[in-house]
Amino acid sequence: MDRMKKIPVREQEPEVRARNFDEVCYGYDEFEARAEASRCLNCKKPGCVEHCPVSIKIPLFIKQVKEGEFAAAAATIAEDSSLPAICGRVCPQETQCESGCILGVKGEAVSIGRLERFVADWGRENGVSTAAVPSRNGRKVAVVGSGPSGLACASDLARLGYEVTVFEMLHKAGGVLQYGIPEFRLPKERVVEPEIDNVRALGVKIETNVVIGRTLTIDDLFDREGFEAVFVGSGAGLPKFMGIPGENLNGVFSANEYLTRSNLMQAYSPDSDTPIRIGRKVAVVGGGNVAMDAARTALRLGSEVTIVYRRTEKELPARAEEVHHALQEGIHFCMLTNPVEVLGDEKGNVRALRCLRMTLGDPDASGRRSPVPVPGSEFDIESDLVIMALGTSPNPLISSTTKGLETDRRGCLVATPEGATSRPGVFAGGDAVTGAATVILAMGAGRKAAAAIDEYLKNRK
Amino acid sequence: MYKIVSKKVLNPSVTLMEVEAPRLAAAAKCGQFLIVRARERGERIPLTICDFDREKGTVTICTQAVGASTRIINAMEEGECFTDCVGPLGLPSEFTEWDEARLAGERFLFIAGGLGAAPVYPQVKYLHSKGVPVDVIIGAKCADLLIFADEMASVCDNLYLCTDDGSLGEKGLVTGVVTRLLAEGHEYTRAVAIGPMIMMKFAALTLKPSAIPLTVSLNTLMVDGTGMCGACRVSVGGKTRFACVDGPEFDGYEVDFDEAMRRQTLYRDLEIEADHKCRIGRDA
């Protein structure tokens, strides 16, 4: 075995998986996991832990895997993360834990993500219970949103003895894990739901169908429902559109809508009552993970899919693995291309996306070279369905109904690194504060806020 | 679970249901809507809140069977439960924020078409309770489809009924009644039109010369109803707005109704297909 190389992971063949919604990656088996774990050097000063937003004791759990002590490894991870089967699948490990791995200097980093996933899946399949219900201190904390930040915050607070209620506005708990990330990357019944059940097993109550800012306000939570502190992890918000002509034609969707229909409402399944439009030729505008998810979803529904992005492959903000998978599955990439208009037929249905060719100019403030249109380069991409995956802007539901809650220029909630907002007793984290980011960063923010809430409530009594 | 405590069949395609949802009832204001799901795997269906009883903890919804999901809802009986019921969503009617001084001197004209009479009712009831004079026009295709006439009569000053075939009230469209009332010298400070898009479009065209401020309530397609999906986007005054968070009520003179009507048809072909899909053994 070459210590410098990762043990490869088995995946569904691209041409097969392009036609189904089953998980792409099969994950390691016990033998593969132990072999991969044996690559770890167990560094004295582990760079991986430093680069993990929730500081999982990575060398320890990997050592336990190497020794075949899988239940112990599950317990080790559970000390710091309540959603390991999810994070093992969707964290951008290459820019986090694995970027700190010393093996990565000369070869390939240890496959920490796949090992985390292996341990979590093994634990679930073998009925390892990692949740000991702690004794209650009788103090109530409310969590707004059951996405990654809310679940992480709620589990830490429950472990500290607080009585935690999570309010979710949709009919299913999980936030972006339910509505955003597709089944083929993150299975819902097999992975997301059991992991949320683990959070419930800690004594956390999750109430669905409650919209904070509408059904109840933040003030109601304090005054009427008796909560002493509130964590707001309400997520990213409203989808952005380009503001070009033709965007309201029939057949133009936000990625949020397309993915919500397919994921949360399971419109891909014939059993679902929710309809979804299936395009013959689909253009997805954007280059992030959400664009890849939308494109790969449309592909699986039977469409021919093109991703339209105004910079080059090098600048794509999506994870390399997602881009790689999308290419393997046969998605076309149309780079250095920027839409200027959506064209419709006489009935108001989309027929094409009019675009301009771009070149890369000088680097902008973010260090990325900014795209510049090539004059006279207009051309049309034939499409009957266009999906806009351009990011989101904050949802004003909470900020507009809560006095004394400061927002920034973009409308995101203002919070300290510990999660304190301008209003005493109200904490916030995740996409509601940072704008759209990743699952693990949101979890990290949720955990920090849980510690800050504990500190705040201890000092209050 | 959200129990149906009472059900009334208003006509073969329209039912009225009172549903247990205490938190929702406590927070509801007129003009807002809610979303129900009839069953697991069910579609999220937005419906205007037609009434609410804070003491009983119930909300009233009125559903017209227009597709597979609304037919499933209408087939539900008293004692059965919705899997989900969430709200109130959207912004309340503007006048619910006005104090008595602001309401003094106002005189409202409500124009309700078909099912629109149901969401108009709580608004009229609210204004009536504040002592504001309100006239109401209810129009429908025929007498059987005209709903809420008795309820409305008890909370408004003048009630005008019309049907396309003349089987009840005047023969003709609501816009005809509007034209007549204005010609007869009735004066209104505000108008509200709720009904099919096409009716609201023509209500706006009819009222425009009078310059009476007009509010319309849009029943667009939606998924989450909280701003996340953008399915409900409408052009208002040339700008794209989300009916779920910026509405559902908008300035009737600013709405691009042609676009809104076109967007409503987005799933019609799939809906027809769904109607023909064999569902034997699935609807239990």
Residue B283 confidence (pLDDT) = 46
* Chain A residues with beta carbon closer than 8 angstroms to that of B44: 171, 265, 274
Tokens for B9?
Answer: 């069949």
* Full residue range of the structural domain in which residue A52 is found: 14-125
Q: Could you tell me if residue A197 is inside a domain?
A: yes
- Name the pairing type of β-strands A238-239 and B45-53: unpaired
Nearest-5° angle of CA A249, CA B274, CA A302? 60
Number of A/B CB contacts below 8 angstroms equals 116
Q: Are residues B112 and B203 located together in one domain of the fold?
A: yes
A71 shares a domain with A107: yes
Closest Cα in chain A to B267: A275
Are residues A263 and A354 both part of a single domain? yes
Is the predicted pLDDT of residue A447 greater than 80, yes or no? yes
Same domain, B41 and B107: no
Residue B131 located in a structural domain: yes
Chain B positions in Cβ-Cβ contact with residue A250 (cut-off 8 Å) = 262-263, 265-266
Write down the mean pLDDT value for chain A: 93
Does pLDDT of A251 surpass 80?
A: yes
B83 plus B196 within the same structural domain: no
Residue B230 to residue A179, Cβ atoms within 8 A: no
Which pLDDT value is given to residue A130? 66
- The predicted pLDDT at position B273 comes to 61
Chain A residues within 8 A of B231 when measuring between CB atoms? 253-254, 257
Per-residue pLDDT, averaged over A76-80, amounts to 90
In a domain, B247, yes or no: no
Same domain, A349 and A404: no
Query: Using CA atoms, how far apart are residues A19 and A17, in angstroms rounded to an integer?
Result: 5
If asked whether residues A120 and A145 sit together in one domain, one would say: no
Does the residue B200 lie in any domain? yes
Mean pLDDT in residue range A158-170: 95
- Token digits of residue A446: 């949720």
Same domain, A48 and A108: yes
Q: Which residues of B sit within 8 Å Cβ distance of A?
A: 23-24, 27, 37, 41-44, 68-69, 72, 83-89, 223-224, 226-231, 233-235, 240, 242, 245, 259, 262-263, 265-267, 270-271, 274, 282
**Residue A288 shares a structural domain with residue A311:** yes
B210 shares a domain with B194: yes
User: Could you tell me if B191 and B177 are in contact, meaning their C-beta atoms sit under 8 angstroms apart?
Assistant: no
A358-409: pLDDT as tens digits:
999 888 877 778 899 999 999 999 999 999 999 998 888 999 999 999 999 8
Domain end, chosen from A390, A412, A440, is at A390
pLDDT at A95: 87
φ, ψ of residue A371 to 5 degrees: the values are -75, 140
Whether the pLDDT of residue A4 is over 70: the answer is yes
Tell which residue, A334, A333, A340, A332, has the closest CA to residue A373. A340
Taking a C-beta distance cutoff of 8 angstroms, is the pair B269, B227 a contact? Answer: no
Residues B131 and B48 in one domain: no
- Residue A439's pLDDT band, with cuts at 50, 70 and 90, is confident
Residue B69: inside a domain, yes or no? yes
Q: What is the least distance, in Å, from the CA of B263 to any CA of chain A?
A: 6
Same domain, B156 and B102: yes
Task: Residue B223: list chain A partners with CB under 8 A.
Answer: 257, 260-261, 265, 274
Q: What is the mean pLDDT of each run of 10 residues along chain B (284 residues)?
A: 94 93 95 94 93 95 90 94 96 93 94 94 95 96 92 95 94 94 94 96 95 94 92 94 94 96 86 56 44
Q: Which residues of A touch B240 (CB under 8 A)?
A: 241, 243, 247-248
pLDDT for A336-370, tens place per residue? Answer: 999 999 999 999 999 999 999 999 988 887 777 88
Residues in B closer than 8 angstroms to A208, CB to CB, are 84
Mean pLDDT, residues A243-259 taken together? 96
In this structure, the number of other CB atoms found within 10 A of the CB of residue A249 comes to 20
Asked whether A436 and A419 are in contact (CB, 8 A), the reply is no
Same domain, B152 and B203: yes
Same domain, B169 and B109: yes
Question: CA-to-CA distance for B83 and B37, rounded, in angstroms?
Answer: 6
User: Counting Cβ atoms within 10 Å, is residue B57 exposed (0-12), middle (13-18) or buried (19+)?
Assistant: middle
Whether B146 contacts B153, CB under 8 Å: no
Q: Which domain holds residue B7?
A: 2-89
Q: How far is B277 from chain A (nearest CA, A)?
A: 10
- Is A215:A348 a contact under the CB 8 Å cutoff? no
SS3 per-residue string spanning B170-214: EECCHHHHHHHHHHCCCCCCEEEEECCHHHHHHHHHHHHHHCCCE
Burial class (CB in 10 A: 0-12, 13-18, 19+), A376: exposed
Cβ-Cβ contacts under 8 Å for B210 (sequence gap 6 or more): B182
Q: What CATH number should be reported for the domain holding residue A50?
A: 1.10.1060.10
In a domain? residue B221: no
Residues A232 and A365 placed together within one structural domain of the fold: no
- Final residue of a structural domain among B216, B248, B269: B216
Query: Distance between CA atoms of A146 and A225, rounded to whole angstroms?
Result: 18
Prediction pTM value: 0.91
| Count of structural domains, chain B | 2
Amino acid at A55: S
pLDDT at B276: 53
- The ipTM (two decimal places) reads 0.90
Measured CA to CA, the distance from residue B166 to residue B114 in angstroms comes to: 15
**Inter-chain CB proximity B87 and A237 less than 8 Å:** no
A130 located within any domain: no
Residue B84 sits in the same domain as residue B100: no
- Tally of domains within chain A: 3
Q: At B155, which CATH number?
A: 3.40.50.80
What is residue B284's predicted lDDT score, i.e. its pLDDT?
Answer: 37
| Residue A129: pLDDT band with limits 50, 70, 90 | confident
Same domain, A265 and A379: yes
Sign of CA dihedral A94, A96, A98, A100: positive
User: Per-residue confidence at A135, pLDDT binned at 50, 70, 90?
Assistant: confident
Inform me whether the pLDDT recorded for A286 exceeds 50: yes
* Predicted pLDDT of residue A437: 85
